[in-house]
Structure 1
Amino acid sequence: MPFILTTPAARGVAPVALLLSLLAWPQGDARAQATWKVTGFGTVAAVHATQDYGDYTVNPNSPGQAGYSKAWAFDVDSRAGAQLDVRFDKRWSAVVQATQEKSIENSYKTYLTWANVKFQATPELSLRAGRIALPLFLAADYRKVGYALPWMRTPVELYSLIPISYSDGVDASYRWHTGQVKHETTLSLGHAAARLNKDLTGKARNIVGLTESATAGALTVRFTAAQALLVVPGAEALFDGLRAFGPPGEALADRYDIAKRHVRVFSAGFNYDPGNWFITGESGRINTGSLLGDQTASYLSAGRRFGNVAPYVTYARLVANLATQTAGLPLDGLPPEAAAVAGFLNNALNDQLRQIGVQDTASVGVRWDVAPNIALKGQFDRVKPRGGSIGTLINVQPGFRSGQAFNVISLGMDVVF
């Protein structure tokens, strides 16, 4: 069960960012030098999945309904967004971005995804404060802007592990060179609310991330290490029940309890794009040290541009670094009533473990740039949950069988304006 990180849309960071903007804005005639730029983006897409016992989704924080719920769903990838960029002078700037997309409550909501002020302290060093994009993956800064992606969507196996794209805090970026290689090192500090499902909400505290990017010609590589303290109240019943069965139950609870855990993330990726073709790949691991999972995901993708048409192929794989089932509490020797309770707890524990995704996806697709600001895309995915896991599916129904592949067909239009 991958954890879902969200942050409140309008509480805390927006007033702070606005105040900092006002403080940062030069006075007098310098105000006239400020430049404003408003841009927008959007995706409209229809998705069909041949999965009769669950719904295909690309982000558990924005659940789609393609498969069991609907033959064709428009809520898997569709979203709209707007961004305001303000440059006050050579050193001070600000950005605000909002998106309208599907929420975990199955309704469309407006999210304040970015709202920060930037100070260019030196040509090499920049500082930001507010709601900031986390540079965890290659597409971290533009994952919601479909037009900026070569694919229909970012590979689900990797990007669904950490569906958050921002946190509230500060970061510092330093640019430097070694020969012809351009480097950028970023230290990020922040916090966020943690949404696991409709019923459980926790806090991701003390988020610390270090990212190193290097560019040499057409090649870009990026490495990230991050950690946070995840605190999740409200799930005590299962683990208190396990502990009531003595040492065996205490061992299980200590292993899987989600109440307070350190979460660690490591990722590495590259992109080589000389113009007529591209090849890109990433690998990442998230370890929660709990029932929420320890998973590694990777993908490799390549495409070729023929004028304004660009076909591509992608292969992605998601594996679990822990068993997705357990024998649980021993039942032998227990009185009938106690054995029934222990069996219930074992089933509840295994139901959660099977939600830790294990999955492969092979994809082929094509992008057609019909205008400078419009791209049409089509993508075919062959998805296979494995190892008793439900993969990245949601709303799984009785009768689902892990190990059976299904198809996903996606047709969409991306625009920027």
Structure 2
Amino acid sequence: MLSALLLAAGAMAVRAEPEPMPNAEIGAAPAAGELAEWVKLDGFGTLGAYRSNDAVASMRPDARNANASLRDWRFDGDSQLSGQLTLNPNGPLRLVWQVLAKDDIVLRFRPRTEWLYLGWETSTPLSLRAGRLALPVFMLSETRNVAYALTNVRPYSSLYHLNPITKVDGLGAIWRHTLGPGELSLDAVHGRAKVDLTTGRIKARAITALAAQWRQGNWSLRLGRSEYQIDAQLPATLAQLQVLASGATGCANCASVLSARAPAQVRAVIDTGGFNLEQGAWTLSGEWMRRRSDSILVADANAWYAQLSRRMGAFTPFLGIGQTRFVEAALGFQSAAGAPPAAQAANAAFDRFLQSANGRRSWQAGLRWDFAENLALKLHYEWLKNTQEIRLGQTGSVSYPAPPPIGSYRGPSWDGQLRVLSLNLDFVF
């Protein structure tokens, strides 16, 4: 399974031919061969280090990492170790179990089950799965945690951080069919999921996703849509909204506006598109995403990225650009008659803050070096620049403190720019 995922992602993994067994081991060969037909074990991991350059804003590779870099080297962002066990890998009925150990704000590095499903390859082009499955939202959904399969160090945060749900407990089906010079595949999943955060839990009561992919020669195109019914179990966040609705800032309509715009029962839709083109030693790829919901707790946003790379023997330099833009409409908070200017300014600030106007653009450049079999060393430089707000505070992959009236920070202001240097060693076995 893992080797198939790497191949689909364009990874350059070459395994050496096995050495001939000594004569003393010939008698044990049939038993070992029979075991290999029933059990397959794969592993992958990353040893990573990264450092941001700003004294006010911090950065973490994943919004669910426990800690962030604030002008210091950290080793807990991308670092991970994972294993995948497949029972009956060559048969029509197989069991797949993938365990992931990666830094998480709740579990830290404790191993957790990422996938656990029973798959059935029918005699038709249809395959069925039941259990814990990858959610097929993005092009890299199935290889999101296999950094070796990526040219750069990690999936683009401009897009991938907008959907923290990576897996579902439910049912899935994949249909493949050859049409003329290419192949069409459909990947459908229905299930539920939950994501634990320091502020509470996001519980998806129902998720339905469908992705279509066309492969032809050296290019592929992917389109997808996923729908979510979410319970936002965020006690601290909801309590803050209740304080605002109480009129504590002299707001005349906050209660009615928040009742309509901030329900905890959220319906959201994500539309995605992606492409990959290989022309000789060159590879061009990109993705686009559109997220819409009926609650400011999941703010409306658009995002995209594009990456160009070129293979030169064991080296692959790459360049990339990405952007996130939040498009949540203004809430229209109105201050009560006679409210002082400070109250009016506070209501305007809270209105903008609740639009999650933390859009940014990123530029990336780096070099991948496949210096040995199944080993890749990557040097990655990223420049991040907020393109919407830089004064209201933010918590996530990029975080900076909020000054009054949103927060209490009174230190140096952030200029909206952040630079990050990463050095990762990726491996598979």
TM-score range, shorter chain: 0.7 to 0.9
TM superposition shift of 1:94 = 1.4
**CA 1:32 to 1:52, structure 2 compared with 1: closer, same or farther past 3 Å?**
closer
CA contact (8 A) 2:165 2:193 kept: no
- What is the match of residue 396 of structure 1? 400
Q: 2: distance between equivalents of 1:48 and 1:32?
A: 45
TM superposition shift of 1:308 = 0.7
- What is the match of residue 320 of structure 1? 326
Aligned to 1:103, the other structure's residue is in SS state coil
CA contact (8 A) 1:385 1:402 kept: no
**CA 1:115 to 1:242, structure 2 compared with 1: closer, same or farther past 3 Å?**
same
- What is the match of residue 282 of structure 1? 287
CA contact (8 A) 1:116 1:129 kept: yes
- What is the match of residue 82 of structure 1? 83
- What is the match of residue 303 of structure 1? 309
Matches within 5 A, 1:152-171: 152-171=153-172
- What is the match of residue 218 of structure 1? 218
Q: 1: distance between equivalents of 2:348 and 2:112?
A: 38
Q: Which moved more, 1:287-296 or 1:363-372?
A: 287-296
- 1:371 paired with 2:372, answer yes
Instruction: State the TM-score, normalizing by the size of structure 1.
Output: 0.83
CA contact (8 A) 2:165 2:195 kept: no
- What is the match of residue 115 of structure 2? 114
- 1:330 paired with 2:331, answer no
- 1:35 paired with 2:41, answer no
CA contact (8 A) 2:318 2:365 kept: yes
TM superposition shift of 1:231 = 0.9
Q: 46, 60, 65: which one pairs with 2:63?
A: 60
TM superposition shift of 1:343 = 8.0
- Structure 1 vs Structure 2: percent identity of aligned residues? 25
Q: 1: distance between equivalents of 2:396 and 2:284?
A: 25
TM superposition shift of 1:105 = 3.7
Q: Which moved more, 1:275-284 or 1:361-370?
A: 275-284
Aligned to 1:66, the other structure's residue is in SS state coil
TM superposition shift of 1:77 = 1.1
Q: Counterpart of 1:237 in structure 2: which amino acid? A: A
Q: Which moved more, 1:371-380 or 1:104-113?
A: 104-113
- What is the match of residue 406 of structure 1? 418
- What is the match of residue 182 of structure 2? 181
TM superposition shift of 1:289 = 2.7
TM superposition shift of 1:295 = 1.0
TM superposition shift of 1:169 = 0.5
TM superposition shift of 1:395 = 4.5
Aligned to 1:157, the other structure's residue is in SS state helix
- What is the match of residue 5 of structure 2? none
Cα-to-partner distance string for 1:12-38 (whole Å, 9 max, x where unaligned): xxxxxxxxxxxxxxxxxxx97952111
Q: 1: distance between equivalents of 2:245 and 2:61?
A: 36
CA contact (8 A) 1:51 1:407 kept: yes
TM superposition shift of 1:317 = 0.5
Greater C-alpha radius of gyration: 2
**CA 1:410 to 1:184, structure 2 compared with 1: closer, same or farther past 3 Å?**
same
Cα-to-partner distance string for 1:89-119 (whole Å, 9 max, x where unaligned): 6310111111111111483222210000101
- What is the match of residue 19 of structure 1? none
**CA 1:80 to 1:248, structure 2 compared with 1: closer, same or farther past 3 Å?**
same
Q: Counterpart of 1:321 in structure 2: which amino acid? A: V
TM superposition shift of 1:39 = 1.1
Aligned length: 379
Q: 2: distance between equivalents of 1:300 and 1:33?
A: 40
Q: 1: distance between equivalents of 2:193 and 2:185?
A: 24
Q: Counterpart of 1:405 in structure 2: which amino acid? A: Q
TM superposition shift of 1:165 = 1.8
TM superposition shift of 1:327 = 5.9
Q: 1: distance between equivalents of 2:328 and 2:214?
A: 33
TM superposition shift of 1:371 = 0.7
CA contact (8 A) 1:369 1:375 kept: yes
Aligned CA RMSD, in angstroms, stands at: 2.7
Matches within 5 A, 1:95-174: 95-105=96-106, 107-174=108-175
CA contact (8 A) 1:191 1:205 kept: yes
Q: 257, 260, 267: which one pairs with 1:262?
A: 267
Aligned to 1:254, the other structure's residue is in SS state helix
TM superposition shift of 1:219 = 0.7
- What is the match of residue 208 of structure 1? 208
**CA 1:393 to 1:171, structure 2 compared with 1: closer, same or farther past 3 Å?**
closer
**CA 1:408 to 1:321, structure 2 compared with 1: closer, same or farther past 3 Å?**
same
**CA 1:274 to 1:96, structure 2 compared with 1: closer, same or farther past 3 Å?**
farther
Runs of 5+ unmatched residues, structure 1: 1-30
Q: 2: distance between equivalents of 1:258 and 1:72?
A: 40
CA contact (8 A) 1:387 1:402 kept: no
Q: 2: distance between equivalents of 1:228 and 1:87?
A: 34
Q: 1: distance between equivalents of 2:332 and 2:415?
A: 21
CA contact (8 A) 1:242 1:252 kept: no
Runs of 5+ unmatched residues, structure 2: 1-33, 402-408
- What is the match of residue 237 of structure 1? 239
Q: Which moved more, 1:310-319 or 1:387-396?
A: 387-396
Q: 1: distance between equivalents of 2:293 and 2:361?
A: 22
